[in-house]
């Protein structure tokens, strides 16, 4: 049996059952991040100087140590050792190490500063972009997966890519500097050390290519797991009411195990890098020691030079080893970056046209002309819908569940665009009207009330932030919400938590109605607005709505026909078409579909 709390299955590119997003070119992702780093180019330049100073110290110190050893060996052949010279070497080395540590700390601090601000900007861009995406994107992507992109993926980017740019530069500079210095000392030993470079490149490319897909799968699985957790928390009452705890746990374990498998494969494959490089590092070290020792015995090289080469052997592969040790984080960061940019690359299809206009004074004339629409273009939900709502009219829309009632309003608000036909507002196609202008002309009350964290006053004034407290109270009075608000200890300053869970569902709906009233929009849409309200309050709300509709075009989607008896026009939607239209008495007299719906709710003589 299908789990009732199982996240939606969809065909979207990032849906829980959609195939994993194709791993993009890491170079392309890296280049795309460069402009974010470039915004902090001054600080990045200082960090680069610090990194170069650290690199310079790693080049100088082995040479100084070798000179110190050779000096001591040379001086030990005399009757006394020049300790003053030895102390000078030690002091210089100590100062270099202190300066190197300070530069390294400054580099780390700067990267934390920059990476935090880059992630902050990315999240801000994601939030702005998400709010502009079509409703279809939100319908086909789970909230948990979207949240995972905002939180987990950006956090991985901060942790994994913070040092990448600087480290790439310093690694190249360090390796080139060491090669030049070693070549000046001895070409044979330099050649032995450089033999490891092709092997390092081959191992890195092989392991990164192998583990890349697993890190992408890991991030996708993490997004799916977040979806399950989020839906389980939201639906905990339903889960317990139906006794589905065990089944929900099974479903959670299934997704959790997928994350475990993907994470294990990613970590195991990428974890091969460090051990293999250590083996290569040690083999190179042994080879240099053996060959260098032989050359020292033959008098070709001094002990100090050999010690310098041995230190360079460790330093030469250290930058590569450092990158290898961070390969897990870097791989995860790139996988996270791909998911973030995949979201930012989603293009909204509903945008303002180049010739979009604003209507200064909306009269409220709505015309649907031969509208055809389907969420799937192969299966239209609305079929050749045509009707007119004149300014000040109350138009009720009724019909069975799934008939397309709410879809009509989704098209009017341009949450979706028609497949064919047109919708006109005051004679202008709404696709030619600026979206902000269109939606500011609409006051909407949804079936499921949506509130935000904050006070009751701020929630009522959400669509009109400049409203005074007296205006808020007046709207609450018209919506009959003042009755329960005045009983609260802090009244309009009461803080709502988690979408208003500290008040009842009916009270939440009253607040959303008050919010629509305060918006003072010329067109009002009530989508099952009274479904969560008791009969007594419904009567009061109906009186308020009757007062509100004066001079406004009003659409009421309702199952309770008692709320629409006084509507100027009633549209009966059946199978995506207008089966009947007229007022209450006219439709009852026809004894058609409306009559059937009505008599199923009331007994008539």
pLDDT at 33: 84
Between 532 and 275, name the one with better pLDDT. 275
Q: Check: CB of residue 446 under 8 Å from CB of residue 368.
A: no
Coil/strand/helix, residue 559: coil
Across 282-293, average pLDDT: 81
Number of neighbouring beta carbons within 10 Å of residue 56 = 17
- Sorted by sequence, the CB contacts under 8 Å of residue 456 that are 6+ apart come out as 485, 488, 491, 492, 493, 494, 496, 511
Query: d(Cα 412, Cα 493) in Å, to the nearest integer?
Result: 34
Number of neighbouring beta carbons within 10 Å of residue 300 = 12
pLDDT tens digits for range 175-220: 777 788 778 777 888 787 777 777 777 777 777 777 777 777 887 8
pLDDT at 6: 39
Q: Check: CB of residue 385 under 8 Å from CB of residue 396.
A: no
Number of neighbouring beta carbons within 10 Å of residue 225 = 20
pLDDT at 80: 57
Task: Tell whether the model's pLDDT for residue 10 goes beyond 60.
Answer: no
525, 381, 323: which is closest to 443 by C-alpha? Answer: 525
Query: d(Cα 307, Cα 70) in Å, to the nearest integer?
Result: 10
Number of neighbouring beta carbons within 10 Å of residue 350 = 15
Distances (CA, A) of 331 to 138, 153, 154, 266, 278: 28, 12, 13, 9, 20
pLDDT at 85: 74
- Beta strands 420-425 and 366-373: pairing type? antiparallel
Residue written as token pair 């032995």 = 192
Q: Check: CB of residue 100 under 8 Å from CB of residue 50.
A: no
Query: d(Cα 215, Cα 339) in Å, to the nearest integer?
Result: 11
pLDDT at 326: 60
pLDDT at 20: 39
Task: Tell whether the model's pLDDT for residue 77 goes beyond 70.
Answer: no
Across 329-345, average pLDDT: 81
- Sorted by sequence, the CB contacts under 8 Å of residue 596 that are 6+ apart come out as none
pLDDT category at 320 given cuts 50, 70, 90 is: low
Number of neighbouring beta carbons within 10 Å of residue 354 = 5
CA 433 to chain CA mean position, Å: 30
pLDDT category at 242 given cuts 50, 70, 90 is: low
Give, as one character, the DSSP assignment of residue 354.
T
pLDDT at 322: 62
- Sorted by sequence, the CB contacts under 8 Å of residue 277 that are 6+ apart come out as 200, 203, 317, 320, 321, 324
Between 331 and 128, name the one with better pLDDT. 128
Query: d(Cα 577, Cα 438) in Å, to the nearest integer?
Result: 25
pLDDT category at 5 given cuts 50, 70, 90 is: very low
Task: Tell whether the model's pLDDT for residue 7 goes beyond 50.
Answer: no
pLDDT at 544: 65
Cα Rg of the chain (Å, integer)? 35
Across 290-307, average pLDDT: 78
Q: In the chain, pLDDT over 70 holds for what percent of residues?
A: 83
Question: What tokens does 167 get?
Answer: 């480290």
pLDDT category at 323 given cuts 50, 70, 90 is: low
Residue written as token pair 């960061």 = 333
Query: d(Cα 422, Cα 108) in Å, to the nearest integer?
Result: 58
pLDDT at 102: 87
Between 419 and 164, name the one with better pLDDT. 419
- Sorted by sequence, the CB contacts under 8 Å of residue 244 that are 6+ apart come out as 3, 4, 5, 238
Q: Check: CB of residue 538 under 8 Å from CB of residue 560.
A: yes
Across 309-335, average pLDDT: 69
Across 280-287, average pLDDT: 79
Task: Tell whether the model's pLDDT for residue 351 goes beyond 60.
Answer: yes
Query: Can you list the positions of beta strands (E) in 94-151?
Result: none
- Sorted by sequence, the CB contacts under 8 Å of residue 522 that are 6+ apart come out as 362, 363, 364, 391, 441, 551, 552, 553
Between 205 and 319, name the one with better pLDDT. 205
Residue written as token pair 């583990």 = 211
Question: What tokens does 530 get?
Answer: 């009274």
- Residue 1, classified by CB atoms within 10 Å of its CB into exposed (0-12), middle (13-18) or buried (19+), is exposed
Stated as kind and residue range, the H or E segment containing 511 is helix 505-519
411, 418, 368, 416: which is closest to 390 by C-alpha? Answer: 368
pLDDT at 168: 65
pLDDT at 12: 35
192, 196, 163: which is closest to 278 by C-alpha? Answer: 196
Q: In the chain, pLDDT over 90 holds for what percent of residues?
A: 2
Query: d(Cα 240, Cα 45) in Å, to the nearest integer?
Result: 58
Coil/strand/helix, residue 294: helix
Mean pLDDT of the chain: 78
Residue written as token pair 């600026």 = 434
DSSP sequence for 322-353: HHHHTHHHHHHHHHHHHHHHHHHTPPPS----
Across 456-474, average pLDDT: 88
Across 7-19, average pLDDT: 37
Least confident of 296-305, 404-413, 433-442: 296-305
Task: Tell whether the model's pLDDT for residue 1 goes beyond 50.
Answer: no
Task: Tell whether the model's pLDDT for residue 604 goes beyond 60.
Answer: no
pLDDT at 241: 60
pLDDT category at 11 given cuts 50, 70, 90 is: very low
Give, as one character, the DSSP assignment of residue 504.
-
pLDDT tens digits for range 471-528: 999 888 888 888 888 888 888 898 887 777 778 877 888 888 888 888 888 888 888 7
pLDDT at 319: 64
């Amino acid at each position: 049996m299908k789990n009732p709390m199982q996240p939606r299955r969809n065909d979207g590119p990032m849906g829980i059952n959609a195939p994993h997003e194709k791993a993009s070119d890491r170079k392309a992702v890296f280049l795309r991040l460069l402009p974010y780093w470039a915004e902090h180019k001054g600080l990045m330049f200082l960090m680069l100087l610090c990194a170069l100073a650290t690199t310079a110290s790693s080049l100088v110190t082995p040479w100084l140590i070798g000179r110190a050893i050779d000096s001591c060996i040379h001086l030990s052949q005399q009757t006394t050792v020049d300790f003053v010279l030895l102390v000078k070497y030690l002091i210089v080395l100590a100062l270099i190490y202190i300066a190197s540590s300070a530069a390294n700390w400054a580099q780390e601090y700067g990267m934390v500063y920059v990476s935090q601000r880059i992630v902050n900007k990315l999240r801000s861009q994601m939030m702005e972009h998400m709010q502009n995406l079509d409703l279809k994107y939100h319908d086909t992507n789970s909230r948990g997966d979207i949240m995972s992109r905002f939180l987990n993926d950006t956090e991985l980017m901060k942790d994994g890519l913070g040092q990448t740019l600087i480290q790439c530069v310093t690694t190249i500079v360090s390796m080139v500097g060491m090669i030049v210095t070693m070549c000046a000392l001895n070409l044979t030993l330099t050649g032995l050390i450089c033999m490891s470079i092709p092997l390092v490149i081959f191992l890195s490319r092989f392991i990164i290519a192998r583990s890349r897909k697993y890190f992408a799968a890991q991030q996708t699985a993490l997004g799916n797991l977040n979806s399950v957790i989020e839906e389980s928390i939201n639906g905990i009452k339903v889960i317990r009411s139906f006794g589905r705890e065990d089944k929900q746990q099974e479903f959670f374990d299934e997704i959790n195990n997928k994350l475990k498998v993907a994470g294990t494969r990613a970590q195991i494959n990428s974890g091969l890098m460090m051990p293999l490089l250590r083996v290569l590092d040690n083999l190179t070290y042994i080879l240099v020691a053996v060959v260098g020792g032989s050359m020292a015995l033959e008098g070709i090289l001094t002990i100090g030079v050999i010690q310098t080469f041995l230190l360079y052997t460790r330093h030469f592969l250290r930058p590569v080893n450092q990158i290898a040790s961070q390969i897990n984080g870097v791989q995860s960061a790139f996988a996270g970056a791909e998911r973030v940019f995949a979201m930012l690359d989603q293009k909204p299809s509903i945008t303002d046209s180049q010739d979009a206009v604003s209507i200064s004074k909306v009269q409220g004339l709505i015309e649907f002309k031969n509208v055809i629409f389907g969420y799937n273009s192969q299966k239209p939900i609305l079929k050749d819908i045509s009707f007119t709502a004149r300014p000040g009219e109350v138009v009720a829309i009724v019909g069975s569940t799934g008939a397309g009632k709410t879809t009509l309003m989704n098209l009017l608000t341009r949450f979706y665009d028609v497949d064919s036909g047109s919708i006109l507002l005051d004679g202008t196609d709404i696709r030619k009207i600026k979206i902000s202008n269109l939606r500011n002309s609409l006051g909407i009350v949804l079936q499921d009330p949506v509130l935000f964290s904050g006070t009751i006053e701020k929630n009522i004034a959400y669509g009109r932030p400049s409203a005074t407290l007296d205006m808020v109270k007046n709207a609450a009075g018209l919506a009959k919400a003042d009755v329960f608000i005045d009983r609260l200890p802090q009244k309009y300053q009461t803080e709502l938590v988690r979408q208003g869970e500290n008040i009842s569902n009916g009270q939440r709906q009253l607040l959303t109605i008050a919010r629509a009233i305060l918006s003072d929009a010329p067109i009002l849409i009530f989508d099952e607005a009274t479904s969560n309200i008791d009969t007594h309050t419904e009567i009061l709300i109906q009186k308020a709505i009757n007062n509100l509709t004066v001079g406004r075009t009003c659409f009421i989607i309702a199952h309770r026909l008692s709320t629409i008896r006084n509507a100027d026009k009633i549209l009966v939607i059946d199978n995506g078409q207008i089966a009947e239209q007229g007022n209450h008495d006219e439709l009852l007299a026809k004894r058609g579909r409306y009559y059937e719906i009505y008599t199923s709710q009331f007994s008539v003589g």
